[in-house]
Each structure stands twice: as C-alpha cells, then as structure tokens.
Structure 1
Amino acid sequence: MSELKNAGEKQMKQEIFLPDDYRPAEDEPFMNDRQLEYFRRKLLNWKAELLAGSRDTIEALQDGTRNIPDVTDRASEETDRALELRTRDRARKLVGKIDAALRRIDEGEFGYCMKTGDPISLKRLDARPIATMTLEAQERHERREKVHRDD
C-alpha cells in the first residue's frame, strides 16, 4: 500500500507547473510544492550538466591518448589531464551532494539547517542548492574547523 502512495506522490510532484521565469519568493510559504519542484529541477539540471561533462572528459581522455615525442609537450599534456581529472573528481563529489539534496527534498528535510533546524535563506539555496546549513551555522562550523585544524 505504501508503495502505491509513494508512486502517487512522485506522480503528483511531476505534475507541478512552473513558469520558466519562476523564482522562489519570500512572500510565499517556505518550501511549498512549487519551491521544492523548482529546486528539484535545478538540482537535476546541474547533475545532468556534471554527468555530461564527465562523459565528455572520458571520451577526450580515450581519444587523446597519443605518443608525444617532446618531453615538455608531454609534461604539459599530463598536467592538463591531471587537472581535468581533479575537476571531474570534484564533480563526482558534487553529484553525491546533489543526490543527497534530492533525497532531502523527498524526505521533506530540504531547505532546513541540519544543525539548527532553521530555514536556510532562499537566496542561499538558489546560489547553492546543496547547502545543508544556514549561513550563520556554516560560518560557525568553518570557524570551529579552522581552530581544530590549527591544533
């Protein structure tokens, strides 16, 4: 029975109409269906872009394997490849954070600080939809992290 309910809820979420120019506003209820759908789409589009970039990188690395006789040119190409792989590793970690944000949307926890439970500002979520803390909680966390790193 709960499987039918979950399938029905997912169906309903997909039917939410959002105009192309929709932006979450402070004067509407926080994390209403339209806002959740806005952030879901934003996260899914970001994830698709990252995955497409990864596919392009894999293709370029496979096609780009060649024997370069000049040592300097070879070193330069290896540096470029290492940089691209680091960028892709960062993208891979971002995809994990995007998936976690999508799970929070499904579980009704998206938009609320994981430390304080307070709402995260819409501006912050629009700029960084994977944010898990309010700006204030994030700053406190970073200050504590810096203090512990210096020990």
Structure 2
Amino acid sequence: MSTQEKQKASHNLYGVEPYQVAKGEEYMSDSMRKHFIQILNGWKQELMIGVDKTVDHMKEEAANFADPADRATQEEEFALELRARDRERKLIKKIDKTLQLIQDKDYGWCESCGIEIGVRRLEARPTADLCFDCKEVAEQKEKTVGKG
C-alpha cells in the first residue's frame, strides 16, 4: 500500500469517506443523513464483531486451573474483558439511539442550545449530541462538581 493509499485509508470512517458538503447544500440533507447512517452502522458492526470475539475467546480459554494464582489471573482477565464489552454494549445502545434520531430527522443539532453540531465534529464523534461550546461548558461543570 502506497503512502497516499495509507493516508486515504486512515481518513475513512468505518469504510466511509469524509463527507464533502456541496455548495449550498442544506445541513442534514438526505445524503448527509445517509452518510452518518453508514458510519454508525459500520461502527456498530465493528463493536459487535468484538463482542463475538470475546465470547469465543472466553469459551476457548475457560479452564479450571488447579493453581489458585492461575485461576485468579484468568478471572481478572475475563473481568477486564467483560467490563470493556459492557462499555461497548452501552455504546451500541447510544449508536442505536443516534440512528433513531437520524430517522426522526432530529440528528445533528445541539440538545442544549439547538445550533448545528457540524459535520466534522459529528464525523469525529458520530454520537455527539452537544455542540463544541456546550460540550466544553458541560465538561467544566463536571470538573467543578468533581472537585467539590
């Protein structure tokens, strides 16, 4: 693979090229929504493959070790994998919620202030529901509350 091909591949979002907004195109047009559906479905598919691999790995690796240290090591490894899968399960739910927002034509606008979140921000974080400014304010509030 050439350097140019590697750069192009690294800019793909789950097999989808970055969106090129046409001059005068309305925000969250049909083609823009289709673009984000492709990204979200690709992301979800990737997560689900990971879940399947974990289940297969745990079935293959499950052993009843006689040595308590070996058994504890395996149990800790499985616990870490399960925590990671739980985070991914929650992310899959968020992806499904986002796909529903797209279907309802409510996707792409900040839940806090109502402005456009923006195509590039949504490509960076397709499940984003706050614009950059509102997200910063929310994070500052979290830091302040966390210190109290």
- Which TM-score applies when normalising by structure 1? 0.79
1:41 equivalent in structure 2? 38
1:5 equivalent in structure 2? none
> In 2 relative to 1, CA 58–99 (structure 1 residues): closer, same or farther, beyond 3 Å?
same
- Identity of paired residues, percent? 36
The amino acid that maps onto 1:112 is W
- Segments of 5+ residues of structure 1 without an aligned counterpart are 1-19
> In 2 relative to 1, CA 71–26 (structure 1 residues): closer, same or farther, beyond 3 Å?
farther
- Segments of 5+ residues of structure 2 without an aligned counterpart are 1-15
Shift of 1:91: 0.3
Q: Take 1:98 and 1:84, find their aligned partners in 2: how far apart are those partners?
A: 21
Alpha-carbon contact 1:114-1:132 (below 8 Å) kept: yes
2:127 aligned with 1:130, yes or no? Answer: yes
2:144 aligned with 1:147, yes or no? Answer: yes
The amino acid that maps onto 2:85 is R
Q: Take 1:24 and 1:72, find their aligned partners in 2: how far apart are those partners?
A: 55
For residue 130 of structure 1, give the secondary structure of its aligned residue in structure 2.
Answer: coil
Tell me the C-alpha RMSD between the 2 structures: 1.8
2:50 aligned with 1:53, yes or no? Answer: yes
2:100 equivalent in structure 1? 103
Shift of 1:26: 7.1
Give the paired residue count.
132
Q: Which runs of 4+ in 1 moved over 4 A?
A: none
